[in-house]
Amino acid sequence: MNHRSWTRHARTVAVVAAAGALVAAVLPVLAASAGQTLAQVATARGFHIGTAAGVRTLASSQWRQVADTQFNSVTMGNEGKWDATEPTQGQFDFAAADAIADYAAATGKRLRGHTLVWHSQLPSWVSTDRTAAAQRQVLIDHVTGVAGHFAGDVAQWDVVNEPFNEDGTLRSSVWYTRLGESYIADALTAARAADPAAKLFINDYNVEGVNAKSTGLYNLVQRLQAAGVPIDGVGLQAHLIVGQVPSTLRQNIERFTALGLKVEITELDVRIPLPADTAELTQQAADYRAVVGACAAVAGCTGVTTWGVGEVDSWIPAFFPGYGAALLFDEQWRARPAYTAVVEALGGTATVPAPPPVPSLVSVAAYPFESGLAGWGSRGSEVTTQVTTVAHGGTGSVLSSGRTATWQGPTRPVLDLLAPGKLYTVSAWARTASGTGTARLSMQRQNGTATRYENVSANTAIGTSWTLLRGDYLFLPGATALSVYLETTDTTGDLYLDDVTIETEGPPVSSSASASASASASVSVSPSASRSVSPSASRSVSPSASRSPSASPSQGGPAGCVVRYTTNDWGGGFVGDVTVTNTGAAVNGWTVRWTFAGDQRVNQAWGATVTQAGAAVSATNAAWNGTVGAGAAVNFGFLASYTAGYTGGNARPAAFTFNGTACTVS
Ligand code: XIL
């Protein structure tokens, strides 16, 4: 039974609406670079070319502009996994996975489900002590619940993921050790019962060539077929290293299709040791050509999915330190040589697509508290009032007094301001009346009876100065109520709040990319792009949301800058992300400088040109993001390595300057 279809229409409309404004803004660019997209070339020959998608990537207009036009299939990246779909036994949460399914439906893409039974990304309750019979029921209930929810929507399910050891024996997962090989048949049988239309796959890595592991898979599927267990295909993940496509790939594909099975390349990426040079990118193009060509040459090999679109959504830099540049698009969504190779491997002629324009940040709501509370009120028994005794900007702010618990503070409902599936930047200034506490800016999201508390930003707040709380918030679809609130670890102290802003991606910053395109705007747009345009839904945020520059977050604030510096570490390497909010006058061209606390070295950067001398780093704007208006923010990132073992670990730099002005570090 499909538990999704009754709400499906409403959800799809919301996703299309969210896509509307963005797609409308970029149509001229697509028209200019129309030619044949990768998706069109694939569709013309009945082939599937896919990408993994995630709720975060869906929130990026640039990701969507590439994915909308270049791929005709989409796989749930993390959203269909056990930890996302059944975090607590018997309580399913499909908000994130539904967003992927709705995106596929809204853009006419095939949907691959990933993944029902795996040893990884399992919530801990799955592995707690229980009998084999109870464990089997856990598995069957999960497969039935998830596959049933998406019945009719998923073309192929990776029912069992990564069941093998390298030698072709079955991996000692919680499933195999408690249930033996029969868990695989049970999962497939339950999936077939829950969704008779979905093709059922077993998916694994290092099974691309003929080897012990792929032979283990080959023997397993033959045993399943002999026993009458439903099995329709095998997925070859293909997380490859540049120059190392197995020579027996096609032979391996053919031995599986000879069994009457479908084969898909399900998670293709070709990683390169960084920095990637031209020779390596050329070799990578040859590798992509070989993989796609081998699949396309065999009738039963029906599609190739890459594990992401570009550098920004690749899992490689974080999971294989020192490697990257593994996908078809780079950190600025420019096509790599491999793009052309894939189009040609499918018999097309490549027109290299223009990179999507960089979006601006527009104001959705701004609360300067100059007069009145503008919808803000009490959370708990505390009393929220507008005061003019202290202020961050202007002369007014909000005071929360009489607090008796840490969670009490000012709050405001924002459900009608935010569009589901969109990414927002929420910021607020906080201050205690006296004393010190950790101030937290969060969202309370109600989904029917389930309540989620999602932190946006936390920082130390003290009574002598204002502290900026600023963070990204991805608003998942399906909410029935949503409020933003401020709290502090100081249980009873009074708390001030001021200059709250909510921003989101708006139209492109510069029209330079589309200017050259407008001359050929009469060229018809690609079908896959026009499908997702909903003319009546030209806005994705509430009509009352102000886009006017007067809603500047810097109103009355100090001249200068605020830096948010975050890292994603794996020990020895990290991805750095830097956001600078310009709280002074507009600038045209910028340099951000800092000094690393240890021996960190930047290897690669995006959104800025980064140079380093000793520990001193200097990041200068890229061609397209030099102008930063008053109150606007600019973001760039980099990949760095360091020698583990120096004192302090990957400590963050203590100070930053923006065009020579010292910044507040948030
Ligand atoms: C990866 C995701 O891309 C990451 O975001 C996540 O943190 C870990 O899992 N084989 C699989 C995929 O089947 O599900 C994995 O995806 C990559 C390896």
pLDDT tens-digit map of 189-216: 999 999 999 999 999 999 999 999 999 9
Q: Over 60: is that where the pLDDT of 34 sits? A: no
In this structure, the strands spanning 573-582 and 561-569 are: antiparallel
Residues of the chain above pLDDT 70, percent: 85
HSE toward the beta carbon, residue 27, CA cutoff 13 A: 21
Among 267, 313, 570, residue to substitute to test ligand 1 (most atoms within 8 Å of Cβ): 267
What residue's CA is closest to ligand 1, atom 9?
78
Residue 6: which residues within 8 A CB-CB, separation 6 or more? none
Q: Is 191 exposed, middle or buried (0-12, 13-18, 19+ CB in 10 A)?
A: buried
What's the mean pLDDT in 157-173?
A: 98
Where residue 100 falls among pLDDT bands split at 50, 70, 90?
Answer: very high
Nearest ligand 1 atom, CA 158: 13
Mean of all residue pLDDT scores within the chain: 85
HSE-up (13 A, CA, CB side) for residue 471: 16
d(CA 541, CA 365): 10
pLDDT for the residue 585: 84
Judge whether residue 414 has pLDDT over 60: yes
Q: Report pLDDT for 92.
A: 95
What confidence score (pLDDT) does residue 577 get? 84
Q: Whose CA is nearest to atom 4 of ligand 1?
A: 315
pLDDT band at residue 632 under the 50/70/90 scheme: confident
pLDDT digits (tens, 9 = 90+) for 529-549: 221 222 222 222 222 222 222
Q: How far is the CA of 77 from the centre of ligand 1 (A)?
A: 7
Let me know: does 351 contact 33? Beta carbons within 8 Å: yes
- What are the pLDDT digits (tens) for 241-282? 999 999 999 999 999 999 999 999 999 999 999 999 999 999
* pLDDT the model gives residue 570: 61
Which carries the bigger pLDDT value, residue 304 or residue 573?
Answer: 304
Ligand 1 mean position, distance from CA 128 (Å): 23
pLDDT at 383: 97
* pLDDT band, very low/low/confident/very high, at 614 (cuts 50, 70, 90): confident
Q: What is the pLDDT of residue 3?
A: 60
Q: Indicate which residue of 267, 331, 382, 487 is catalytic.
A: 267
Look at the pTM and tell me if it is higher than 0.85. no
**326 CA → ligand 1 middle, Å:** 14
Ligand 1 midpoint to CA 206 (Å): 14
Consecutive H or E run containing 504:
strand 495-508
Given a contact cutoff of 8 angstroms between Cβ atoms, the answer to whether 313 and 67 are in contact is no
| Buried b or exposed e, range 327-337, using 16+ CB within 10 angstroms | bbbbbbbbbbb
Q: From ligand 1's centre to the CA of 111, what distance in Å? A: 17
Q: Among 361-375, 399-413, 496-510, 556-570, which is the least confidently predicted range?
A: 556-570
Encoded tokens for 234: 């095998």
Looking at residues 435-447, what average pLDDT do you find? 93
Question: Quick check: 201 and 217 in contact, CB under 8 A?
Answer: no
Find tokens 């709380």 and name the residue: 469
Please give the residue that has the higher pLDDT: either 555 or 454: 454
Which residues have CB under 6 Å of ligand 1? 77-78, 161, 237, 267, 315
Q: Any residues with CB less than 8 A from the CB of 46 and at least 6 apart, and which?
A: none
pLDDT score, position 628: 86
Q: How many CB atoms lie within 10 A of CB 127?
A: 16
CA separation, residue 566 to residues 266, 423, 471, 577 (Å): 32, 18, 11, 5
- H/E stretch holding 628 reads strand 627-628
Distance of CA 631 to the CA centre of its chain: 26
Instruction: Identify whether 275 is preceded by a cis peptide bond (ω within 30 of 0).
Output: yes
Report the pLDDT value the prediction gives residue 530, as an integer from 0 to 100: 21
560: left (phi over 0), alpha (psi -120 to 50) or beta: left
pLDDT of 589: 86
Any catalytic annotation for residue 311?
Answer: no
Distance in Å, CA 122 to ligand 1 centroid:
12
User: Using N-to-C axis directions, what is the helix angle for 5-32 and 95-106, rounded to 10°?
Assistant: 50
Local confidence band at 155 (pLDDT 50, 70, 90 cut-offs): very high
Q: Could you tell me if 274 and 242 are in contact, meaning their C-beta atoms sit under 8 angstroms apart?
A: no
